[in-house]
Structure 1
Amino acid sequence: MPAHGAWAAAGLAPGLAPLDARLNEQILMLPAGAGGRERLETTLFKPDGSGPFPLLVINHGKAPGNPRLQRRDRFVYMAAAFVRRGYAVLVPMRTGFANSSGRYSDFGCNMTANGYAQAADIADVLEYASQQSWIDARRIVVAGQSYGGLASMALATQDIPGVRGVLNFAGGLRTIGGSCDWQQALVQAFADYGRRSRLPSLWLYGANDSFFAPPLVSRLHQAYTRGGGKAQLLSYGAFKNDAHRMLASRDGEKIWLPHAERFLQSIGMPFREVYALADTPPAPASHYAALEDVAALPYVPERGREQYRAFLKRMTPRAFAISASGAWGWAEEGEEPEARALAACQSSSEQPCRLYSVDERVVWPDASAGRTD
């Protein structure tokens, strides 16, 4: 078959990540909408045991295009940090996203209505959770990234028993093209939420966020707090090549976690580690070849070698996979780069793909593999 390859961007992974047994990961279908007719594809992480556990609900953003094609969000780095602190974690895909049922509601330039519509699903998830014996319904915190942050701030206008605070990671929503003044509409939304707010919040926005630049973030925060909303804004500077992806990055924890711990303590939520989780052991270096030795790459043709040269300039975490068919695939940043690289490679190969390099090391185990020059 002809040799060809693929790549997987952070947040746009082909294939499905395996469930993480360390975190007791499960996929649930939770009731939502009028009469509970809809079902939300929801990822659960939790410690061992029957609880009751304090709860974190993490709310996702919106990728470009059809929400139905968006993958299941996991936020596994944040989830693991909270499981270590004794929390159960729910990550719901809202109506019309991924494998959730129903139709996505879009109110166009009315950012206020967009936030409230998405918050309705979060409220339904909280209603379900509060009825479970393994959840401590008196101790709940809500978090959201991007569109999920906007929805979480809209949720904070409601008086929901047990919810003590909100973590807003680069919250907002933008439109591309058309006549919508989305920035002003977003300011109006946060002003509305601030006037109605019932919960304290911590906001984290980076200086090089590709969606929401610092001047806009300042306007959002001023609009929210001027109306009476309680929000601590942490502007943490640049993060890699886009701070909008900080929460999904393995390296983001050192930025957000210390501030989140202090916020949790201030609202009476657990903030210290109480469970030990085994780290997933990294693939060991095989010493098959030097990382930069492009000529050592087996099986792949020159096009694949060109892609590997480009890959070596990418950020970590990263992974490059190949197969004996000559196919290749790679992934950088985000969650599970190894699994995403393998899936990208496998999408172009009838033969099994294996990892060639991970981060700064070659892990290819087969010293007898042929080379193509």
Structure 2
Amino acid sequence: MDKDDKKGNAIYRESVFLKKRIVLLVLIVLICIQGIVFAAALETELVKIPLTVENKTFQLDAKIYKPVGEGPFPLLVINHGTPRLAEDRAKTNASVGYKNQCETFANLGFTVVFVVRRGFGSSEGEYVENKVYADGTRNYTKSGLEAAKDISATVEYMKTKQYVDSKRIVLLGQSTGGHSVIAAGALHIDGVIGIVNFAGGRGSYAPDLVRDEKNLINSMAHYGKTSRVPTIWLYSVNDHYFGPSLAQAMVNVYVGNGGQARFISLPTSGIDGHSSFVHARDNWYSHVVNFLSEIGAIKESL
């Protein structure tokens, strides 16, 4: 092979390599553009949701995330937890609360609403999730039902939106929010077809310590007596708020009293798996999507 042939082959190889790089770069750009468009294809709105309790009306802060279009879209109501320190309750913010998770579900085709309950953030009303029995022990049953009033009011408000499918409503909550949606499931709210409970419970005051633990278990038994909505319970094996044995005890009495539940033990997540809903999407995403598909909330499954 003479020098001209070698030079020609080198130029050809370089040309092919350059073309491949150009094609790869174009594909990367297209993927990025598609991702940006997809992420941007959501509409958001900050709203005030009225809640009337004992002839008093309170305004709850909330943020709506919805796909672009007229719908109707299924509705997902997302509920927050409770910090151990009372002074931190004021930090709950509708604008940014669970923002990534809200967008994740909106991108699945849901209208999502994140609501701030009474006693948190800038929502009106005193903190009411601190009920006690006559003996001074925690009445978690009543506390959960108080929170369920806020959830029910949110559902009824969202039903007035023409873009919401009022027959496909799912409630989701994390920590005390998970306990709250299980409580709401006992109220037979029209249109609710499923409940997602992430690490639900109340009364954790230090790692692996729960105040009046028996009362917490009994609250789940109470809710199970009247709930007939399919639920999924997701708890990490290293949850230091509500550990595996307590989580199992709660779901057992819930089912034993008539409730429908699928229990998912999630793998270890960080130092404390209690926050896996926020920090470990890969651990729970497929379980939740498949559940939502099975109950008819969405068509997608994994």
Q: TM-score range by the shorter chain?
A: 0.7 to 0.9
AA aligned to 2:275 is: R
Map 1:160-179 → 2, pairs under 5 A: 160-176=189-205
2:131 matched residue in structure 1: 107
CA pair 248-201 structure 1, distance change in 2 beyond 3 A: same
Match among 281, 285, 288 for residue 253 of structure 1:
281
AA aligned to 2:290 is: R
Q: Write the distance in 2 (CA, Å) between the matches of 1:36 and 1:129.
A: 20
2:62 matched residue in structure 1: 42
TM-score, scaled to structure 2: 0.78
1:29 paired with 2:58, answer no
AA aligned to 1:76 is: K
**How many residue pairs are counted as aligned between the two chains?**
251
CA pair 36-57 structure 1, distance change in 2 beyond 3 A: farther
AA aligned to 1:246 is: S
Q: Write the distance in 2 (CA, Å) between the matches of 1:97 and 1:103.
A: 8
In structure 2, the gaps of 5 or more residues are 1-38, 133-137
Task: Give SS of 1:208's match.
Answer: coil
AA aligned to 2:74 is: P
1:134 paired with 2:163, answer yes
Map 1:317-328 → 2, pairs under 5 A: none
* TM-superposed deviation, 1:36: 6.7
* TM-superposed deviation, 1:142: 0.5
Q: What does the per-residue CA deviation read over 1:66-125, in whole Å, with 9 as the maximum and x for residues that have no partner?
A: 365222152123212211121110010001210101111121411111100100110011
In structure 1, the gaps of 5 or more residues are 1-19, 274-373
Q: Write the distance in 1 (CA, Å) between the matches of 2:272 and 2:41.
A: 29
Q: With CA pairs under 8 Å and 6+ residues apart, which has the higher RCO, 1 or 2?
A: 1
TM-score, scaled to structure 1: 0.64
CA pair 139-32 structure 1, distance change in 2 beyond 3 A: same
Q: Write the distance in 2 (CA, Å) between the matches of 1:154 and 1:92.
A: 16
Q: Write the distance in 2 (CA, Å) between the matches of 1:129 and 1:27.
A: 13
Q: Write the distance in 2 (CA, Å) between the matches of 1:182 and 1:110.
A: 9
1:86 matched residue in structure 2: 109
* TM-superposed deviation, 1:37: 1.3
AA aligned to 1:65 is: A
CA pair 36-139 structure 1, distance change in 2 beyond 3 A: farther
1:304 matched residue in structure 2: none
* TM-superposed deviation, 1:162: 1.1
2:178 matched residue in structure 1: 149
**Range with greater deviation from structure 2 (102-111 or 64-73):** 64-73
**Conserved? CA contact 1:41–1:92, under 8 Å:** yes
Map 1:325-336 → 2, pairs under 5 A: none
* TM-superposed deviation, 1:175: 4.6
2:22 matched residue in structure 1: none
Q: Which runs of 4+ in 1 moved over 6 A?
A: none
**Conserved? CA contact 1:67–1:96, under 8 Å:** no
Q: What does the per-residue CA deviation read over 1:135-154, in whole Å, with 9 as the maximum and x for residues that have no partner?
A: 11111110000000000000
Map 1:1-373 → 2, pairs under 5 A: 23-34=42-53, 35=55, 37-63=57-83, 64-66=85-87, 68-72=89-93, 74-105=97-128, 106-108=130-132, 109-176=138-205, 181-249=211-279, 252-272=280-300
**Conserved? CA contact 1:33–1:121, under 8 Å:** no
